Structure 1
Amino acid sequence: MSTPGGVLTAASRLTSAGGDEPPLTIPRGPAREAAERELSKPAYHENDPSWFVRALNKFWEWVDKLFSAASGAAPGGTLGLVVILLAVVAVAIALWWRLGTPRRSPGSTAPLFDARPRSAAEHRAAADAHAAQGHFDQAVQERMRALVRSLEERALLDPRPGRTADEAATEAARPLPGYADRLHTAARDFDDVAYGGRTATLDTYQRLTALDTEVARTPPTLTAAPGAPR
Structure 2
Amino acid sequence: MLSTGGVPPTTPQVRAAGGDVPVDTPRVPAREAAERELSKPMYHENEPNLLQRAIDRFWDWVGDLLSAASGAAPGGLLGILVIILAVIGLAAALRWRLGPPRATPRTTDSLFDDIPRSAAEHRAAADAHATAGRWNQAVQERMRAVVRSLEERAILDPRPGRTADEAAAEGARALPDHSSGLHSAARQFDDVTYGGRTADQRAYLRLRDLDLALDRAKPRLTSTSPGAAE
TM-score, structure 2 normalization: 0.56
Query: Which position in structure 1 is the counterpart of 2:198?
Result: 199
CA distance in 1, matches of 2:153, 2:194: 28
Residues 120 and 147 of structure 1 are in contact (CA less than 8 Å); yes or no, is this contact kept in structure 2? Answer: yes
1:224 CA displacement: 7.7
- 1:141-156 correspondence runs (5 A): 141-156=140-155
Structure-2 change in CA distance of 1:149 and 1:61 (3 Å): closer
Query: Which position in structure 1 is the counterpart of 2:42?
Result: none
1:107 CA displacement: 2.4
Query: Which position in structure 1 is the counterpart of 2:218?
Result: 219
Deviations along 1:166-218, one digit per CA (max 9) or x if unpaired, are: 00000000110111121111111111111121111111111111111111111
Query: Which position in structure 2 is the counterpart of 1:176?
Result: 175
Residues 144 and 208 of structure 1 are in contact (CA less than 8 Å); yes or no, is this contact kept in structure 2? Answer: yes
- Moved beyond 6 Å, runs of 4+: none
CA distance in 1, matches of 2:128, 2:223: 41
Alignment gaps of 5+ in structure 1: 1-54, 67-87, 226-230
1:102 CA displacement: 2.3
Query: Which position in structure 1 is the counterpart of 2:164?
Result: 165
Give the AA of the match of 2:201: L
Aligned length: 150
Deviations along 1:113-139, one digit per CA (max 9) or x if unpaired, are: 011110000000000001100111111
Structure-2 change in CA distance of 1:133 and 1:174 (3 Å): same
CA distance in 2, matches of 1:60, 1:188: 47
SS at match of 1:200: coil
Residues 107 and 196 of structure 1 are in contact (CA less than 8 Å); yes or no, is this contact kept in structure 2? Answer: no
Give the AA of the match of 1:114: D
CA distance in 2, matches of 1:123, 1:132: 14
1:104 CA displacement: 2.7
Alignment identity in percent? 57
Query: Which position in structure 1 is the counterpart of 2:76?
Result: 58
1:61 CA displacement: 4.0
Give the AA of the match of 1:201: D
- 1:64-79 correspondence runs (5 A): none
Give the AA of the match of 2:131: A
Query: Which position in structure 1 is the counterpart of 2:208?
Result: 209
Residues 169 and 184 of structure 1 are in contact (CA less than 8 Å); yes or no, is this contact kept in structure 2? Answer: yes
1:101 CA displacement: 2.7
Give the AA of the match of 1:175: A
CA RMSD in angstroms, aligned pairs only:
3.4
TM-score, structure 1 normalization: 0.56
Give the AA of the match of 1:176: L
Query: Which position in structure 2 is the counterpart of 1:116?
Result: 115
Deviations along 1:137-170, one digit per CA (max 9) or x if unpaired, are: 1111000000000000110000012100000000
Query: Which position in structure 1 is the counterpart of 2:52?
Result: none
Query: Which position in structure 1 is the counterpart of 2:101?
Result: 102
Give the AA of the match of 1:111: S
SS at match of 2:174: coil
Residues 148 and 168 of structure 1 are in contact (CA less than 8 Å); yes or no, is this contact kept in structure 2? Answer: yes
Structure-2 change in CA distance of 1:224 and 1:111 (3 Å): closer
Structure-2 change in CA distance of 1:138 and 1:224 (3 Å): closer
Residues 144 and 190 of structure 1 are in contact (CA less than 8 Å); yes or no, is this contact kept in structure 2? Answer: yes
CA distance in 2, matches of 1:189, 1:198: 9
